[in-house]
Every structure is written in structure tokens, then in C-alpha cells.
Structure 1
Amino acid sequence: MSSFVTTESGDRIAFDRRGTGPALIFVAGAGPWREIDSGTSQTGELLAGKGFTTVVYDRPGRGESVAEGPFTLERELSALAALIDEVGGSAVLCGHSSGCSISLLAAARGLPIAGLALWEAPLAPPHSGADDFADELRHLITAGELENALSFYMRDMPPEILDIVKTIPAMIGQAATLQPDADSLAWAESAPLSDLLSERRMPVLAMVGTSSFDDVMVPAAEMIVTEIPNAEWKRVPGANHDWEPGPMADELAEFLARIPR
């Protein structure tokens, strides 16, 4: 059964909390929520069994976190702040895809984050076009063109995958929640990461799947290591932008064990 917390922005966030011990919160990327993301829930269960508290939640406007737009980064950060309070006031964030840039922004804003685990962060060097991308997406969402907004956001996906995504009515109905993903990527491209996180020092683990989009994900992981102190990157079993729950839980447990408390 889902638990709920109300944020300072007024959103009611649905989440699953498992285990006890140092806390990790999974931050989904563009689109998923708990009902269709069994891999993250399974990872949370496995990690909880290793002596940690895990939180898997539906981001504002997705799944059971029912909300109306416009969806903003401030609402995303408010959700994370409320969930961090729920687990005792400090947590590691595990971002997936654009959930990585949301997690990085949360750290830059000073939320009490003990570390960052970043799975296939789709980051690019400063001023690579993410701001224009975010503006165009906002135009489509504001015009109510949600199916076009979904197609636009996922335009780089293989056509056969996009066709499957568009058969899920909720993916179209919740397309407005993609705006914070685009805005977080635009923020991450607004300056070097070394400048954006200049006031923050925490362990950072960037991960890339063993079968991945190497032309994008490997340069992004290398940039994270170059720009952020205390960062490392490694290969972890996974393919097509998803991780394998067992090896991912092992990797996260090792990372959490190394973080001072």
C-alpha cells in the first residue's frame, strides 16, 4: 500500500518506503512511475534487504501523485525535500536519466543529500541546445499538444519504442510532467558542472550500462568525473538505458557503505 506525503508546494506524493538504515531515494527520469517501473521497485526491495532504507515514488503528476500543471522544477525539489524529511533528514539520491539532472540540481540547491548515484545521465557540454529544446517542449505543452510533446521529447528514441510508449494512454496524459526533465537538462547545460556545484562536496557515482548508447553516455560520465570532485564512473550490467536490479542493488549497497554518516 502506498504512503503519501504533502509537499510545501501542495502536492500529495505517493511513495513506497522499504527497509531501515541509511536512506536512498530513486529519482525517475522522463515518463516512468512506479506502476510501470518494476525494475526500480525490485532494486529498492533488494537494497532494503541489504540494510538500507529505500524510497521509490511517483513524481508530481504521475501515477498516484495526482496533480495539475504547470509542472516545475520547484515542485520536483519540494517533493524531494519532503521525502528526505520522511527518511530522517538526509539521503543519497539515485537518478535515472534526466532524474540525474534533477538530482544534481537538488544538490546544487543545498538539499541535505549525502551522495549522488547517477545512472546514464544524458548530459552534454554547456550550451548544447537543451534550453531551446525545453522552450519548444513548453510551447507544445502550453498549446495542449500532449501527444506531440511526448513525441518531441522522445524523438531520439528508436521509432519502434516510441510507438509502444504512445500506446500507453497515461504516457500521453502525463506528458506535461516532462517539462521539469527538459528544464533540468537546460540547467545542467547552463554552465560547467564545476561551477553549478562549486559549493557542494559529496561522493558521486556515475554509472553506464554494459550495453548502452556509448556515444552519449560515456562522454557524459567522463564529463561528470572531470567536473565534479569525488566523482567516479563505472560500467554496471544493464542495456537500453535500464539497469539489472540485482547488480544495481549490489553497486548501490557498496556505494552507500562508503558514505560517511
Structure 2
Amino acid sequence: MDKRTTSRDGTALAYDVRGQGPAVILVSGAMSTGGTVAPLAERLADRCTAVVYDRRGRGASDDTPPYEVDREIEDLAALIDAVGGEAVLFGVSSGGALVLRAAASGLPVPRAAVYEVPYADFLPGGAEREAAYKEQLGKALAEDRRGDAVELFLRLTGLGEEMIRGARQSPMWAGLEAVAPSLAYDDTVMGDGLLPGDRLAAIGVPVLSVAGGASPGWLREASRAVAETVPEGMHRVLDGQTHMVEPDVLGPVLADFVTG
């Protein structure tokens, strides 16, 4: 990433800008950097000014402890200023939870879109599972057991034990451990893991909540609940898509929303 801006607390953020048109900032989810959403930015660039960035504590961006969600909202404010003073926000998974919090905060965001924010209300035992994950993750990171923290997250996403063992032996594991401390950030953004009804009801701009038709049912239900709770909420299901949505499928839908 060849551009940098500085957040209110002095944290340097790395970002890239691609294309021309209305600005949209792409917010990645847990265990990811701006590179994760870069293919989507390429798909948007013919109609939008697509901005990808490394969230604090990841990739080429710096970090300034202690972590607070408000600092990440200030990061988005700095990026909005850097690209002209107004931008649509789009977030994937827990990055979507950050986008919804930012949209409710009063930032100059004319509209916002999210993809499958994993609110656990619609998963049997979801609240208990989230509480156990929060406790175990905090302990692993406090003891600097980064690999164990990554394993906890992979299990939370439903990855099987054999696949986790294989991942530990793969070249990508060192990179996963490098961003493991940021798992605590996404966990804080998600709060208790349940849909924050009062916050969503206070969002005063249009919100598009998208889900994949091949994703687990509870994720689709959570996506619909977001759209139904936001006053100007809209819902869209992309046939055949999973939580790892294809940029060529999502891109046109998101571009229509951003430019509409």
C-alpha cells in the first residue's frame, strides 16, 4: 500500500485508492488485512473510488494500545477525510459490525453495506459459544499463545480439527500468528456477539445487508435481521455464494448501491 494517513491518536494507517467515482471504503474482517478485499476493490474500480486499508495492528498499519472501538471509528474518519470528506462504508463479517457502529456514530457516511455480520442470536447456543470464545481468547493472548488464539478462531468459524492441523503446517501460519492479537479487536467490536438492536435502530442512513445463498442458515437470518432492524435497511441474497463471497458476484451489487 503506497498511501498513509494518520488517525486522531497518531496511529499511521496504510491504504490504497483505486478507480474513480463515489468513494467506498472496504473494511476487512477478522484475521485479514486490506489485501483480503483488494480483489473486490478491483471489481469496483470502473464505477467507484474503492479504498482498501490495513486496519490498525495489521499489515502495514501501526497500532497504539490500548484498543478501543472508538479508535477504529476514528481511523475510518481519517480515511474519509483523506478521500474527500465523505464515503460509503462496506464491511465483511466482523468488519461489517465495525461499519454499522461507525454508521451509527455520525460519521459523514451517506450509506453503508455489510456482508454476513456473524451475530450469533440465530445460532443454537450462540450466546454461550461466544462467551466461551471470548474467555479462552483473552487467556491465550494474555499468555502470548498466538497459535492457540488462531486455532480458537478457526474452530469458531467451523473449521475441522484435521484442517486446523494442516493449517499449522502450512506456510501461511506465520502470517496468521502475526495478526492474532487483532482477534481481540474484532471480538471487542462484536461485543457480546448478539445483534445490537438499539444501535442498529439509531442508524440514520440506508444500509444494505447482503448474504450468500449457500451460507449457513443462521448467517442468512442474521443478515436479514440487520436489514429489518435498521430503519432504512435493505436485504439481498446472492445465490450460490458462501461466507467467502466472490468479488465478481458481489461487486456489481455493491457498485449499484454505492452509485445509486
TM-score normalised to structure 1 length? 0.86
* Richer in strand (by share): 1
Structure 1: gaps of 5 or more residues? none
Q: Partners of 2:193 and 2:206 in 1: how far apart?
A: 18
Distance of 2:22 and 2:100 partners within structure 1? 20
Seen in structure 2, the aligned counterparts of structure 1 residues 65 and 256 have a Cα distance that, compared at 3 Å, is same
2: CA distance, partners of 1:187 / 1:92:
26
Partner of 2:98: 102
**Cα root mean square deviation, aligned:** 2.3
Structure 2 residue runs of 5 or longer lacking an equivalent are none
Deviates more, 1:129-138 or 1:175-184: 129-138
Please name the residue that 1:124 is paired with.
Answer: 120
Partner Cα distance (2:15, 2:97) in 1: 21
Other-structure match for 1:42: 39
Matched, 1:79 2:75: yes
CA contact (8 A) 1:208 1:236 kept: yes
In structure 2, relative to structure 1, the CA distance for the partners of 1:155 and 1:69 (3 Å cut) is farther
Indicate the residue corresponding to 1:21 in structure 2: 21
Aligned counterparts of 2:67 and 2:167: Cα–Cα separation in 1: 21
Equivalent position of 1:153 in the other structure: 153
C-alpha change, 1:58 and 1:7, in structure 2 (3 Å) is same
Pick from 204, 209, 213: which aligns with 2:212? Answer: 209
* Distance in 2 (alpha carbons) for counterparts of 1:149 and 1:249: 32
- Paired position in structure 2 for 1:252: 254
Distance 1:248 1:108 in 2: 24
Quick check: 52-61 or 163-172, which moved more? 163-172
The alignment of Structure 1 onto Structure 2 pairs a total of residues equal to 251
Q: Deviations over 1:50-92 (max 9, x none)?
A: 2x11101111111111436544323322211111111112211
8 A contact 1:5–1:12 mirrored in 2: yes
Identity percentage of aligned residues = 32
Matched, 1:181 2:186: yes
AA at the equivalent of 1:152: L
Residue type of the alignment partner of 1:88: G
- Which amino acid in 2 is paired with 1:31? M
**Partner letter of residue 124 of structure 1?**
A
Moved over 6 A (4+): none
